[in-house]
Structure 1
Amino acid sequence: MVAVTPAGETRIWTTLDLEKDGKQHGFLRLPFSTDLSAYGTIPIPITCIRNGEGPTALLVAGNHGDEYEGQIALGKLARQIKPADVRGRIIILPALNYPAVAAGRRLSPLDEGNLNRLFPGKANGTPTEMIAHYVVTVLLPLSDLVIDLHSGGRSLSYYPCCLIRDGGIEAETAKLVELMKIFGAPVGSISDGSGGGASTTLSAAAQSCGVPALTAELGGGGDISRAGEAIATQGLRRVLRHIGILPGVETEPPPPVRMMRVEGKDAFIYAACRGIFEPCVGIGDSVHAGQCAGFIHPIEGAHRPTEAIYLAKSGFVACCRFPAITDPGDCLFKLLSEIERL
């Protein structure tokens, strides 16, 4: 597969030597000039653990700043793993969109950029576009695998899932399915990439560069799911052991994975009006076409009717809107379809 990367040389730099053996903690330096800091930079934490030749895994969290389980799991991994444990290299970015992480927001306060909607980025773009560009032009060419850890953030509650994009080529998809089963989230979800962020996500950028990518959804609501963090912690170690980077690490066997599919844009149910959202189904529920999944209660007064939400298709509720107040176009639910055989 031919890599599709944006033109221009990155303006982000790091003092870390990614070819050096040992464990290094440091920062990517994102140039950001302000009234009070003419030559200022934004520090983005990075850890590199390398020990000789072998594959490279790029591990990312904080792609969205209000998603915390992955940030904790990668922080633990970076502190606990010793160079002697490693065969190859692990590059860890626990707070990739650091301005958003520091603000506890999905979007960067510097430019309102949604990092996972701006790949492949721009060398001389906004700060968020520059981060995406660095990942695509510097880090992905070094990588044999990418794992991008997410959750629902402040707007969604998510059933723990591991997601892949259909590789198109049967062998590529089979490899991703194998890795997804080893990661061991309760649900494995396969997407054609047409929904959500489509071609603008990190997983899409990795696919365009020929790098296998796993994405995980681990919780949501702006809270910490201990179960989601534990899934990430064990899943990371299992996958890194499987590809030979952590050959001696002790892991629990992966639990059974329920294989499901995202049926494109039809998987998402959106609000049609403003009001107070009352769900009648929750994440992990199996629902059927024609079922009432919730209500939107008007806030303008009792003269306005309550809006019932009926499902057009059957499926498994993977995520549900978290805040009660909703506006037209807000995602209320995402449904997955069962895969009988894979």
Structure 2
Amino acid sequence: MGNVWEIGNLSVTEGNKVKDYLELPTVEEKLPAFVVNGSEAGPKVLVLGGIHGCEYTSIDAAQKVGAELEPAQVKGKVIVLPIANPASFYARSIYVHPRDQKNLNRMFPGKEDGTDAERLAYWLNESIFKQVDFVIDLHGGDMIEALVPFTIYHITEDKKVLETSKEMASLFDIDYVIGSSGQVPGSTYGCAAEQGIPAIIAEAGMQGIMSKKHSINLQDGVKNILVSLGLLNGEVNKSESTYISVFDWYRSDIKGLWYPDVEIGNTVTKGQYLGRLANEFGETVKEITSDTEGIVLFLVTSLAINDNDPLLAVGA
């Protein structure tokens, strides 16, 4: 039989691959999974897509990586979950789980007896994160988001985890690499890193559009990381990146209309006018100005804005 990798309800013998549904306790949906147990020993890696159900490019990229990996080529073990949040995917639900209206990527490490998103986060962490050595979480602009591709790693006190995560984040052909010191609590990569597991998020694609170009970009980045970790043979491709330590988020404090005055990729200066929030009669309620000098990496493109919704983010 050889070395058997058991992960949740799935098991795969050495030198084989399983394509099946992962079942998690107390989680209603089954998660499609590719599980590869390589022909030789090596690290265990998790590749996620679809934590946010409308980030279609990330889902396509993860699915294609999972379909392409062959056990004979792999030294180690890989599990790919291309649609990690099926309820959100099929409900076409922006940001949140449709049943509890909670953002899965703010819920980790979750709660065993919590609401739907909290339980899904809990069991992903317990059953998957804790069984692997590295986490690669693929994202993109949600249905109402435009963005410049970027990667993020978590700044943790564990210097080895921090440096490994930073190196992983640098292996995508993406210009901007962000070191995040916890501005986004409850995230996959932050939760994993705080448990000693190097982890990153890579963002490409946007606005509910499946971009073949950006999918290939994400796929190539994942494979580049697998080469760097010794799971795949090949040469590691290095590209020049701009490292960013400030990721300045702007949120709405009203329910109303959002009129941005900048585009993704624009360079902005401190004090620059970024856009305005208006009431339902079109009257300006609040003007948004930049607190920093930097690049607009992320921008909500929806006219409709709810209280506490993100508006944009500037990297510096």
**TM-score, structure 2 length as denominator?**
0.89
Which structure 2 residues correspond to residues 204-223 of structure 1 after superposition, within 5 A? 204-223=190-209
Which structure 2 residues correspond to residues 1-342 of structure 1 after superposition, within 5 A? 14-18=8-12, 20-30=14-24, 41-51=28-38, 52-105=40-93, 106-193=95-182, 195-196=183-184, 198=185, 200-248=186-234, 253-263=237-247, 267-300=248-281, 304-305=283-284, 307-337=286-316
Structure 1: stretches of 5+ with no match in the other structure: 1-12, 34-40, 338-342
C-alpha separation in 2, matches of 1:183 and 1:240? 12
Q: 1:155 Cα deviation (Å)?
A: 3.1
Structure 2: stretches of 5+ with no match in the other structure: 1-6
SS in 2 for 1:116: helix
- The amino acid that maps onto 1:315 is G
Can you list the C-alpha shifts for 1:104-163, whole angstroms capped at 9, x where unaligned? 213222333322122112333333322222222221222111001111212321210010
SS in 2 for 1:149: strand
Distance 1:79 1:318, change over 3 A: same
Contact 1:32–1:42 under 8 Å retained in 2 = no
C-alpha separation in 1, matches of 2:231 and 2:306? 46
Contact 1:292–1:311 under 8 Å retained in 2 = yes
C-alpha separation in 1, matches of 2:181 and 2:103? 21
Contact 1:46–1:94 under 8 Å retained in 2 = yes
C-alpha separation in 2, matches of 1:84 and 1:227? 28
C-alpha separation in 1, matches of 2:201 and 2:284? 40
Q: CA RMSD in A?
A: 2.3
C-alpha separation in 2, matches of 1:20 and 1:273? 55
Contact 2:106–2:187 under 8 Å retained in 1 = yes
SS in 2 for 1:53: strand
- The amino acid that maps onto 2:229 is I
C-alpha separation in 1, matches of 2:88 and 2:140? 14
Q: 1:62 Cα deviation (Å)?
A: 0.9
SS in 1 for 2:30: strand
**TM-score, structure 1 length as denominator?**
0.83
C-alpha separation in 2, matches of 1:139 and 1:297? 44
Q: 1:181 Cα deviation (Å)?
A: 1.5
Can you list the C-alpha shifts for 1:81-105, whole angstroms capped at 9, x where unaligned? 2111111111000011111112221
Identity %: 27
Distance 1:87 1:176, change over 3 A: same
Partner of 1:38: none
Distance 1:324 1:83, change over 3 A: same
Distance 1:313 1:286, change over 3 A: same
SS in 2 for 1:17: strand
C-alpha separation in 2, matches of 1:271 and 1:55? 43
C-alpha separation in 2, matches of 1:257 and 1:42? 38
SS in 2 for 1:277: strand
C-alpha separation in 1, matches of 2:176 and 2:299? 16
Distance 1:16 1:171, change over 3 A: closer
Q: 1:18 Cα deviation (Å)?
A: 4.7
C-alpha separation in 2, matches of 1:189 and 1:321? 19
Flag the structure with larger Rg. 1
